[in-house]
Amino acid sequence: MRILYVSQYFPPEMGAPAARVHEVSREWVRGGTGVTVLTAFPNHPTGVVDPAYRRALRRGTMRETIDGIDVVRTWLYAAPNRRAHERIANYVSFFASAVVRGAALPRPDVVIGTSPQLLVGLAGWALARRYGRPFVFEVRDLWPESLPASGVGREGSAFYRTLAAIARFLYRAADLVVPVTEPFCATIRAHAPRARIAVVENGVDTELFRPIADRRIKQRLGLDRRFVASYIGTLGLAHGLDVLLRAARVLRDRAPDVAFLLVGEGADRERLETAARAEGLTNVRFTGQRPRAEIPEYIAASDACLVPLRPSPLFETVLPSKMLEFMACARPVVVGVSGYARALVEESGGGLGVTPDDHDGLAEVLLRLRDEPVLGDKFGESGRHFVVERFSRRAKAATYLAALREVAGR
C-alpha cells in the first residue's frame, strides 16, 4: 500500500504535529508500507526557513528521504505565527502549492490530510479527488473551536463561520475521520452524524523518550542546585503560560531554590520574556527552541514537568503529546488542565493536577514535589509504565495502519 500524507509540518520543525507525522510514517515504512509526505519548507513557528532549505525554497520544491520516508517539500509564504494576516497567507499559500505539487506525484492508495490547519485537510481532499482514492481527515485539533479557546478571534465572526463550514465539509467528505482523542467525537458527530470515525490517540517514541541519568544540561544552565520546573513545548497563546510567571512571582522570595525553565519557541515567547524581565523574575529561564533529539535531556534535567492550558471547556477534550513524553521519561507531571488529560494523569499515577490558571495551586504542588522527592520518583515510575503499556508510538501506528487498510479496501 502507498500512503500520501499531507502535512504542513514535518521535521526538522519542532512540535507535536511534525513529530506525529514523522514517527507514524517511520513505523509504517519499517513495516514495508510506502509513504510520501507532502509538506512545507520548515519555518514554524519563527517564520524563518531553516538555512539548509533556503536555496531549495527559491526553486519552489525539493525531494528528500528521511528515515525511508519520501518527503516532498513545496513552497509557502513563510511567516511567524503571530499576526493573523500573516498566518492566513502562510496557510493559503501552502494549500495552493500542495494541491499543484501533489497533483504530479504517483497515484497513492489513500490520502491523509492532517489538521492543523484546516486548509491542509482541504488540500488532502482535493488530491484524493484528483487520484480517485479514499480521503482520510486526521483531526489533531478541533478547528475553529480551538481559536476562541486560545484567545484568537471570536465565535460567530465571519472568519469563524468560514472555518466552521470548511470543517463541516471535511468531516462529511472524508471516507474516514481520525481524531486523536475520544472526546473529539462528539463535536465531529454534531457536524457529520454519519461520519466514519476511528480514534487513534497520540503516542510516544518510547525509545527516544526514556529515563536517562544524564543531567549535565542542568549543570550547564547553572541550575544543578535548584528544583527545576520545566515547560517544554510551543510557547503559544493556548497554553496560558502567564500562570507560570505568576507562580514564579509567588516563589521568588518564598522558595528561591525553585526555578522555572521554558524550552521552546512560539507566538507568545517575546511577550513572556519581556514580562519576566520587567518583573525581575530571575527564577525564570528561556532557552529558545532546541533540537528534538535534545528534548529528553531537558526533560531529564527537570524535577517536575508542566502541562498548562488556558481555562476552556474545549481543552478538557485534549491529550497534549508533551504530557506523554514527560511521563515516558519517568518525570513527574503537573497538569494544569481539567478533563481528559487530567483523568489520564490520575489514572496513571504519573503526577498531580491543578486547576487551570491557578498560580497559587501550582506553587503549592511544586513545593510539595520539592520537599518529597520520593513522591516525584514514584510518579515518574508509574507514568513511564503507563505510557509504555498504553501509548507507544509503534502500537498506535499499527492501529492507524489497520484503519487505513480497511478504508483503502472499501
pLDDT at 159: 86
| 124 band by pLDDT with thresholds 50, 70 and 90 | very high
- The answer to whether position 405 is within a domain reads yes
338-390: per-residue pLDDT in tens? 999 999 999 999 999 999 999 999 999 999 999 999 999 999 999 999 999 99
Q: What is the largest CA-CA distance in the chain?
A: 64
- Are residues 75 and 141 both part of a single domain? yes
Number of domains in the chain: 2
- The answer to whether position 67 is within a domain reads yes
- The answer to whether position 191 is within a domain reads yes
254-310: per-residue pLDDT in tens? 999 999 999 999 889 999 999 999 999 999 999 998 989 999 999 999 999 999 999
pLDDT at 267: 85
Q: Which residue has the cell 480514534?
A: 199
Q: Is the pTM here over 0.85, yes or no?
A: yes
Q: What is the CATH number of the domain that holds 168?
A: 3.40.50.2000
- Are residues 140 and 221 both part of a single domain? no
- Are residues 386 and 396 both part of a single domain? no
- Are residues 133 and 269 both part of a single domain? no
Q: Strand 176-179: give its sheet, edge to edge.
A: 61-66, 69-74, 34-40, 2-6, 110-115, 135-139, 176-179
| 318 band by pLDDT with thresholds 50, 70 and 90 | very high
- The answer to whether position 208 is within a domain reads no
pLDDT at 349: 97
pLDDT at 286: 97
| 16 band by pLDDT with thresholds 50, 70 and 90 | confident
- Are residues 155 and 303 both part of a single domain? no
- Are residues 257 and 172 both part of a single domain? no
- Are residues 104 and 21 both part of a single domain? yes
- Are residues 311 and 356 both part of a single domain? yes
Supply the mean pLDDT for the chain.
94
- The answer to whether position 210 is within a domain reads no
- Are residues 158 and 221 both part of a single domain? no
40-86: per-residue pLDDT in tens? 999 887 788 988 999 999 999 999 999 999 999 999 998 876 677 78
Q: Which domain does 239 fall in, by range?
A: 216-390
- Are residues 92 and 193 both part of a single domain? yes
- The answer to whether position 75 is within a domain reads yes
- Are residues 156 and 296 both part of a single domain? no
Position 178 pLDDT exceeds 90: yes
DSSP states of 170-205: HHHH-SEEEESSTTHHHHHHHH-TT--B------B-
- The answer to whether position 174 is within a domain reads yes
CA distances from 29 to 25, 308, 397, 410 (A): 6, 34, 11, 22
3-state helix, strand, coil in the chain (%, to 5): 45, 15, 35
- Are residues 272 and 319 both part of a single domain? yes
- The answer to whether position 211 is within a domain reads no
CA distances from 310 to 80, 243, 306, 355, 372 (A): 22, 9, 13, 10, 28
